[in-house]
């Protein structure tokens, strides 16, 4: 079983990645799993900034979709795994599955597979995601499908996590101990 699962959730630019990197920094052998793709110049700059901020001793695995399989293929032991982020991973899966039946169900099943990989590991996992439930309902079918899928994946991860930290304006709030799950 994994050594602990922490979910860090919050809005865009709330400090999620910085907290995740700080928490992960106490470990010596770190695997950083990046799910972003540089599809334009601005995203390329964001990715490069993130890379510059990470310790050079961390191993980086860049995988936008087949995250579970990519993690399983790593043959070097790690004390910690930082996954940044579920948001882009779900978006990538959703775009690949757009128009198919039961998309949300498929994405949640992928999330369950990823959590099974956590359970099979010896490492502490720190997972970053965006909160999508506090904004307006998107005006498009794809936007609503994304909000629904990520909201469900976030619930699955939060239910299994040992710790859940909500980031608001750079301040972490421990939300796991406040109340029970809705299920």
DSSP letter at 123?
Answer: S
Angstrom distance (rounded) from CA 183 to CA 68: 26
Q: Degrees (nearest 5) of the Cα angle 147, 183, 116?
A: 75
Angstrom distance (rounded) from CA 48 to CA 118: 27
Angstrom distance (rounded) from CA 171 to CA 150: 22
Angstrom distance (rounded) from CA 4 to CA 7: 10
User: Cβ–Cβ contacts within 10 Å for residue 13, how many?
Assistant: 10
Is 50 designated active site?
yes
The distance in angstroms from the start CA to the end CA of the chain is 23
Instruction: Exactly one of 50, 59, 78, 106 is catalytic; name it.
Output: 50
Residue 155: enclosing H or E segment and its boundaries?
helix 141-160
User: Cβ–Cβ contacts within 10 Å for residue 175, how many?
Assistant: 14
- Return the active site residues: 50
């Amino acid at each position: 079983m994994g050594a602990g699962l922490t979910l860090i959730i919050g809005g865009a630019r709330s400090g999620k990645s910085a907290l995740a990197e700080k928490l992960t920094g106490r470990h010596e052998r770190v695997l950083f799993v990046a799910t972003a793709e540089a599809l334009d110049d601005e995203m390329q700059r964001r990715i490069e900034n993130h890379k510059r901020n990470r310790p050079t001793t961390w191993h980086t695995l860049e995988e936008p979709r087949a995250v579970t399989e990519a993690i399983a293929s790593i043959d070097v032991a790690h004390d910690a795994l930082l996954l940044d982020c579920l948001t882009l991973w779900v978006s990538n899966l959703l775009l690949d599955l757009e128009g198919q039946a039961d998309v949300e169900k498929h994405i949640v099943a992928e999330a369950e597979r990823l959590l099974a990989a956590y359970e099979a590991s010896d490492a502490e996992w720190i997972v970053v995601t965006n909160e999508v439930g506090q904004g307006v309902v998107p005006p498009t079918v794809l936007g609503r499908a994304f909000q629904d899928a990520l909201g469900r994946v976030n619930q699955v991860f939060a239910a299994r996590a040992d710790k859940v930290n909500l980031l608001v304006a750079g301040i972490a709030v421990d939300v796991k101990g406040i109340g029970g799950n809705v299920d």
